[in-house]
Structure 1
Amino acid sequence: MLEVVADRGGASAKEVSEALGFPIPTTYRLLQVLVGCEYLVHLKAAKRFELGYKLDRLGVSLHRQVGVPASVRRRIAKLHEMVGAASYYAVYRGVDVVVAHVVDCPTHPRITPMNFGFHEAGHATAFGKILLAAMSLEDATEYLDSHGTERLTPTTITDRTELARHLAEVSRRGVAWERQEFVPSTACAAVAVHDASGAVTGAVAISTPDREVDRRRAAEVERALRSTANEISRWLRTG
């Protein structure tokens, strides 16, 4: 319901009912519950519902929980400047990899869906592959069973056997690449960030036009990613 109201910039009970396939009485009752919790406001004169103010508080709390320290943000900004590409810091929450911070600019924009909180398509993103490569076989199988391997582009790896071979190579090299597997014409690369115990806790990543990735560019990107990941890993160990 909240998503319907948010996506439409406000909606009537009838519009929410039609979008979700709920009976109008049920829809109206649930909308009023959300109003009572301050997640929605009811504009009675306009006969519409809009987002409530408590959602902002939830957003602030989420950012705090997935918070990125200033030291890490500075290193992601430095990575962006070093390689001339949109740069990302992703963290692991449970079995999901979540985009926690992005640095980009008009010349080097982020991939459109990769804003704070993005956590889909682990099989097709570079930082998702870093997570999968670090998982046990049992955990990786559970993740893929739950999330699937949807074909997002003609080059998305959807076959489990092929993906397993690819992840073994990621594990061996310590860097993950995806070339037009998530978004056409775009390439991404990522390297793992480790905590004091050596466990993978996240990843640093970049995205860049695929046409620009020749051997020299790939080597430059990998050096910068490894350097940044090592710096952040050391900071996480020492504070």
Structure 2
Amino acid sequence: MTAVDRGVTGRQPQAVRSALAVLEEVARAGAGVTAKEVAEGLGLPPATTYRLLNLLVGEEYLVRLPDLHGFALGAKVAGLAGVIAPARVPTAARRAVADLRGRVRAGVHLVLVAGPTVRCADVDPDLPLASPALVEGHLHASAVGHLVLAEADDWREAVHHPGRLEALTVATPTRPAEVEACLAQVRAHGFAGQVGQLHAGVGCLAVPVRGAGGLLVAAVAVTSARGVVPVEYLDATRECAAVLAPLLD
């Protein structure tokens, strides 16, 4: 029996537009955005928003983040016009990162930076990040994010929801004064460090990679599931960042 193509009829065009709007809102708001926030951001009824979110999760365009009870972009988005296509990192830069991995007993990751946007471009294959999406979507809770926010004239403009700083753990800075204290440390010392703010018990040391004119173009992040990253790793990480600077500029 031959199927009859009835085309797009009735309310279907609006349903498609609404689904795409939900997808765009999650991309704009960042990982961890809740259904309520999506509904409010788009002016959609909550019931409609929940249905669309569930549909997009079922089709793998979105994923749920159980620890946040929110949503993030899913695997299928990778196929959409390079929205989250693998970042291009020069071979020489990957070698520099691999060399640092051989010198420290911790995870080493390269994160690209473009304004307030961060991208986990080269994650340690042996000691991977627990969730790159959280690093990219919650700048207030990661060492890399603190580097980025410390560059901003007003860090509140760089976070997705300045009025809702997610408490990912009991140590996450969720008050403006707490975030500002972290950023003051970054400006004073030239690098960022945190323990347990993104994942309980996990420490991270992040060193900036600067291009021409001192612009922040990337960060080298060293992570440890044992808590504080040993301070003796700082010099090696800075050496790696210096090698990366002309390669990523």
TM-score by length of 1: 0.67
Question: Partner residue of 1:232?
Answer: 244
Question: Partner residue of 1:190?
Answer: 206
Structure 2 matches for 1:154-233, cutoff 5 A? 154-211=170-227, 213=228, 218-233=230-245
Structure 2 letter corresponding to 1:131: V
Question: Partner residue of 1:146?
Answer: 161
Report if the CA contact (8 A) 1:196-1:236 is conserved: no
Question: Partner residue of 1:68?
Answer: 89
Structure 2 matches for 1:1-239, cutoff 5 A? 20-21=50-51, 57-58=79-80, 62-63=84-85, 66-105=87-126, 109-114=127-132, 119-137=136-154, 140-144=155-159, 146=161, 148-211=164-227, 213=228, 218-236=230-248
Structure 2 letter corresponding to 1:142: E
Q: Deviations over 1:87-130 (max 9, x none)?
A: 1111123422121111231xxx2232127x95111111111111
Report if the CA contact (8 A) 1:180-1:210 is conserved: no
**Matches of 1:234 and 1:101 in 2, distance apart?**
17
**Matches of 1:18 and 1:159 in 2, distance apart?**
32
User: For structure 1, which segment, 123-132 or 94-103, has the greater mean C-alpha deviation from structure 2 after superposition?
Assistant: 94-103
Q: Deviations over 1:52-72 (max 9, x none)?
A: xx96654767436x3111111
TM-score by length of 2: 0.64
**Matches of 2:80 and 2:209 in 1, distance apart?**
27
**Matches of 1:160 and 1:93 in 2, distance apart?**
23
Report if the CA contact (8 A) 2:135-2:145 is conserved: no
Report if the CA contact (8 A) 2:116-2:149 is conserved: no
Structure 2 letter corresponding to 1:114: P
Structure 2 letter corresponding to 1:126: A
- Provide closer, same or farther for how the CA distance between residues 180 and 118 of structure 1 changes in structure 2, counting only shifts above 3 A: closer
Report if the CA contact (8 A) 1:131-1:202 is conserved: no
Structure 1 letter corresponding to 2:149: L
Report if the CA contact (8 A) 2:112-2:219 is conserved: yes
Cα RMSD (Å): 3.2
**Matches of 2:139 and 2:112 in 1, distance apart?**
12
Report if the CA contact (8 A) 2:138-2:159 is conserved: no
- Provide closer, same or farther for how the CA distance between residues 145 and 59 of structure 1 changes in structure 2, counting only shifts above 3 A: closer
Structure 1 letter corresponding to 2:167: R
Report if the CA contact (8 A) 1:80-1:104 is conserved: no
Structure 2 letter corresponding to 1:180: G
SS of residue paired to 1:144: coil
**Matches of 2:145 and 2:132 in 1, distance apart?**
12
SS of residue paired to 2:120: strand
**Matches of 1:150 and 1:60 in 2, distance apart?**
28
Report if the CA contact (8 A) 2:166-2:174 is conserved: yes
Question: Partner residue of 1:9?
Answer: none
Question: Percent same amino acid among aligned pairs?
Answer: 27
Q: Deviations over 1:106-158 (max 9, x none)?
A: xxx2232127x951111111111111111112xx1212363642111111111
Structure 2 letter corresponding to 1:222: L
Structure 1 letter corresponding to 2:128: R
